[in-house]
Structure 1
Amino acid sequence: MYLTQVLHNAVRHRAAYPLTMFDGRVRSVAECVDRVGRLAAGLRVLGVGEGDRVALLAANSDRYHESLLAVAWAGGIVVPLNTRWVADEVRFALSDCSATVVITDERLLPVVAAVRQSAPVRTVVVMSDGRPPAGMVSFEELIGGHAPMPDVGRGGAETLGVFYTGGTTGRAKGAVLSHDNVFASAWGCLATGQFTTPGGRLLHAAPMFHLADFAIWIAGLLTGGTHVMVDGFTPGGVLAAIERYAVTDVLLVPTMIQVLADCPEAERFDVSSLVRLIYGGSPMPAATLAAARRMFPGAGLVQAYGMTELAPVATLLGPAEHDVPRLAASAGRAAPHAEVRVVDAAGDEVAAGVVGEVVVRGDHVMAGYWQRPEETAAALRDGWMHTGDAGYFDDDGYLFVVDRIKDMIIVGGENVYSVEVEHVLLQHPTVAACAVIGLPDARWGERVHALVVPAGDGADGEQLRAFCRGRLAGYKIPRTVELVASLPVSPAGKVLKSRLRQERVR
């Protein structure tokens, strides 16, 4: 199977059906297919051949959607880049994958312009209605100036894209995913009947360069959905889009959901059309889960656990399971397409209830990291992707992810999982958000340090420590509590604990 195959089926069966909605602009399946074929032809004229990398650095839009499809139509390999990266990070990724063409928008154009001369980029294509700067190519003129080309039809085990991981612990790594990888994950999720709504309207509020949103984009293509885009996450913008476009499905991370719940204007929006709220990145704190249910009473909640290297889903927790408090704290069970185990340091599977490393096997697992054979070999061992997550299964096969292995804190020889401490702190009414990290300690090796974002006034470190007593073993209670205005997060909404540690250990 190949990515653009879904377009050919769609144009035969529902040519007039709306495929994209963005900023008041609606394009049908037929219009989109025509534009994608023309854009692909333009990319070929710019020198994009089969297997060549084309980078995308732009905010969400219908043009981003068209670019993803056009690169595949032309036989190229798409490289979606993180829009929050600074110039040096963008330069590294472009050089690492040898991308010769970059498709960008006016907002990100200064970053591309800053790195163009020191990266292998030959051509910059600008998504805009106006004329681009001298020496760059207009996206719309590229479409308007070419007749549609035949689809190359490159698919199967061939590489679809290079998707760079967050790079929170060093340089980002490019996960190489094939067409088969992303379709295996999508079909497995859809087989549960608990993923995206067939023929629904999917809102892309999370960044489209991130594989979590890419997953629902693929699922929406397969099930005949309409893709609604907003060019950035704001609570008012997301809620307004749900109301305006009668959105049925949206993917968010828990931090986004909490921001929506805290929006003072939330109640004035009609969000009754929403039937599915998919989230990932971390289990939903109980308070956020309750807020999501109050805000979207008609929506079933689905948690997807995985990572970029898994294209991206490994386990799913469905709507009914969210009604069971014990299960709501889990990451769900293995999705139909995935084998999931928990193993010890020797790679042997451990018993239920025993914490070990989560490993995953299946047709959705990446081929490897782009031009990084040693790191590929370290991550892919005996056919299993080693996630770096610490977790355990219960007797019913539900996976509980307790921490990143690298984030585990060792206090006097005892393991402390930061997520466990965070879950207790989040139960206190004065805590809006928190992160727990390990800091060096002369006596115990490491000490538990909590960074807390207060919810209004009244947060107090000693009070929070006292709250933990009786809820956590003594060695797990934070020795120190630091009040902060905010926590640094990745585009996927994950707190950058490595940065927090680095800023405090110098």
Structure 2
Amino acid sequence: MYRQTKDPAAQDPGWVDDVLFAGRPTDVCLRLPEPVDRATLHRLVTEAQARLVAAGLRPGGAAALRLPPSLSYVVNLLATWRSGGQAVLLDHRLTDHEVDRALRRLTPQVVVAPVRTGGGALKVFVDVTERVTGYADRPAVSGHAVIQLSSGSTGPSKVIGRTAADLVAEVERYTRIDGVALPGERIILLPSMVHVLGLVGGLLYGLHARVELVPPERLGGDAVLAAIAAQDTPATVLGVPFHIGLLASTRPDRPLPQFTRMTTGGELVPPAVVQAFTDRHGVPLGNMYGMTEVGVIGTDLHGSHRPAIAPAPGIEVRESDGELLISCPASPYVGLSDPDRWADGWLRTRDAGTVDPVTGLVTVRGRLDSQVSVGGLKVDLTEVEATLTGLPGVAAAVVTYDDGITAYVQPDGPLSGDALDRLLAERLAGYKRPRTLHLVAQLPRTTTGKLVRSLDVLRTAAP
């Protein structure tokens, strides 16, 4: 029988009220589309706490949340923290096999999963009836407030933990970044709150800064524009590059003076996509660079330094042999001590980049493994990929090195390999051009919308 003790894994629940429930009880914090004020959210969280405790959650234990984006997810997440527990975030799109493997490793005391969902496949926030069940009668595996699985775009997911102090510090960083949504404004929230951008940059920052969080009714350009138009207050769209494409191809049917900017995290955005978005909507496209391990690292929310970014307040970035390193006092990995990823207070990003010694601006060049040698000549696969994605008829592309430069291309309409070859021959030297081209109807993506770069997955997707 698990006994409550002063276990180091126990979380002080006071930070939740201090950081996230500030403001007037009547302030609206969520629109789903019905408004949810702070008093209602507080009541729902208190009721969820009672259910979690009744199912076996104790201070120092963990609750695994396998919930789609929903009010239920928000409520159970906050209830877990207010109960002094660790929240293990499992993307609802994971398979049963992936979930079972994670549960065996992380041994939460309770699991919260949906019994029934409603709203349709493209609905951003769904209606959920959840069930809380007991799982393991033991403390959490670490003293972190939240456990997340990395997106796994280049290989198996890593188990990453962040403390309450980490989360509070990141929320504070957001308040000091020029260009974020301000109190009384809105964030049109598109990324999943299971992952770091939606979790901290959306949910936690919004609750702390008294910014309304507004998920659109559905994941489509028209629905996003409708969410912007629904209120008169300024609105910032928060998303990933996939969402930029949705908006760049959607023409508003009326002026939207409320549309302040869009901020994107995740992959580098090709210049052609940036231009298409700004031409269409006439608002800044801000860029954000971060990692699950440490959250936001740098930003350029006004789009004035592209492709460079300014380090976020309190974050130190340095360059070592062409790789970007981030200050990180403790290893963020659970059950893993890998000096190749973290050592002596520095986290290796595995991203190539430079730090300007005068301005401090950081330029992310892409993956560190994108530099390859072809016939003794250095080729940056990021350049090849950017060239491909800028071609007419190309929706997305992934370029790898597999016994030669190999490109996996997702067409946007009719496209042939011969046509691609001709276009590339006009733009790239012969040694830079892909030796093999695969046209793929739909390139595989992670649950966060990033393109998967695992060779095994790409080979399987190719015809």
Alignment of 1:46-445 (within 5 A): 46-106=55-115, 128=128, 136-137=131-132, 159-216=144-201, 217-230=203-216, 233-245=219-231, 248-263=235-250, 266-268=251-253, 271-297=256-282, 299-310=283-294, 312-321=295-304, 327-330=305-308, 332-344=309-321, 356-362=322-328, 367-373=331-337, 375=338, 377-394=339-356, 396-440=359-403
How far apart, CA to CA, are the structure 1 residues paired with 2:430 and 2:107? 52
Is 1:488 aligned to residue 452 of structure 2?
A: no
Question: Which of 406, 409, 417 in structure 2 is aligned with 1:461?
Answer: 417
Partner of 1:154: none
Deviates more, 1:300-309 or 1:392-401: 392-401
> The residue matched to 2:26 in structure 1 has which SS?
coil
How far apart, CA to CA, are the structure 2 residues paired with 1:300 and 1:107? 40
> Structure 1 residues 320, 86: closer, same or farther in 2, change over 3 A?
closer
> The residue matched to 2:387 in structure 1 has which SS?
helix
1:403-428: per-residue Cα shift (whole Å, max 9, x none)? Answer: 32345444234443322111112222
How far apart, CA to CA, are the structure 1 residues paired with 2:114 and 2:247? 27
How far apart, CA to CA, are the structure 2 residues paired with 1:358 and 1:26? 42
The Cα of 1:127 is off from its aligned counterpart by 7.2
How far apart, CA to CA, are the structure 1 residues paired with 2:194 and 2:346? 25
How far apart, CA to CA, are the structure 2 residues paired with 1:6 and 1:421? 45
The Cα of 1:91 is off from its aligned counterpart by 1.1
TM normalised by structure 1 equals 0.78
> The residue matched to 2:285 in structure 1 has which SS?
strand
Q: Tell me, yes or no, if the aligned pair for 2:328 and 2:347 is still in contact at 8 Å.
A: no
> Structure 1 residues 294, 128: closer, same or farther in 2, change over 3 A?
same
Q: How many pairs does the alignment contain? A: 431
Q: Tell me, yes or no, if the aligned pair for 1:249 and 1:278 is still in contact at 8 Å.
A: yes
Is 1:503 aligned to residue 460 of structure 2?
A: yes
The Cα of 1:28 is off from its aligned counterpart by 1.1
Q: Tell me, yes or no, if the aligned pair for 1:57 and 1:108 is still in contact at 8 Å.
A: no
Question: Which of 428, 431, 434 in structure 2 is aligned with 1:475?
Answer: 431
TM normalised by structure 2 equals 0.84
**One-letter amino acid of the counterpart of residue 210, structure 1:** H
> The residue matched to 1:239 in structure 2 has which SS?
helix
The Cα of 1:252 is off from its aligned counterpart by 1.0
**One-letter amino acid of the counterpart of residue 181, structure 2:** T
1:390-409: per-residue Cα shift (whole Å, max 9, x none)? Answer: 22234643322223234544
How far apart, CA to CA, are the structure 2 residues paired with 1:30 and 1:259? 35
The Cα of 1:48 is off from its aligned counterpart by 0.7
The Cα of 1:313 is off from its aligned counterpart by 1.0
Q: Tell me, yes or no, if the aligned pair for 2:30 and 2:36 is still in contact at 8 Å.
A: yes
The Cα of 1:468 is off from its aligned counterpart by 3.5
The Cα of 1:341 is off from its aligned counterpart by 1.0
Partner of 1:3: 16
1:241-261: per-residue Cα shift (whole Å, max 9, x none)? Answer: 333355712211112210232
Q: Tell me, yes or no, if the aligned pair for 1:391 and 1:403 is still in contact at 8 Å.
A: yes
Moved segments of 4+, more than 6 Å: none
> Structure 1 residues 464, 127: closer, same or farther in 2, change over 3 A?
closer
> Structure 1 residues 382, 232: closer, same or farther in 2, change over 3 A?
farther
Partner of 1:349: none
The Cα of 1:137 is off from its aligned counterpart by 4.9
> The residue matched to 2:460 in structure 1 has which SS?
helix
How far apart, CA to CA, are the structure 2 residues paired with 1:107 and 1:294? 42
Q: Tell me, yes or no, if the aligned pair for 1:97 and 1:370 is still in contact at 8 Å.
A: no
Question: Which of 9, 29, 43 in structure 2 is aligned with 1:19?
Answer: 29
1:12-67: per-residue Cα shift (whole Å, max 9, x none)? Answer: xx111112211x32221111112212211321222211121111122212222212
How far apart, CA to CA, are the structure 2 residues paired with 1:454 and 1:163? 33
Q: Tell me, yes or no, if the aligned pair for 1:408 and 1:418 is still in contact at 8 Å.
A: yes
1:447-486: per-residue Cα shift (whole Å, max 9, x none)? Answer: 11222222323x3434434433464443222222222212
> Structure 1 residues 493, 7: closer, same or farther in 2, change over 3 A?
closer
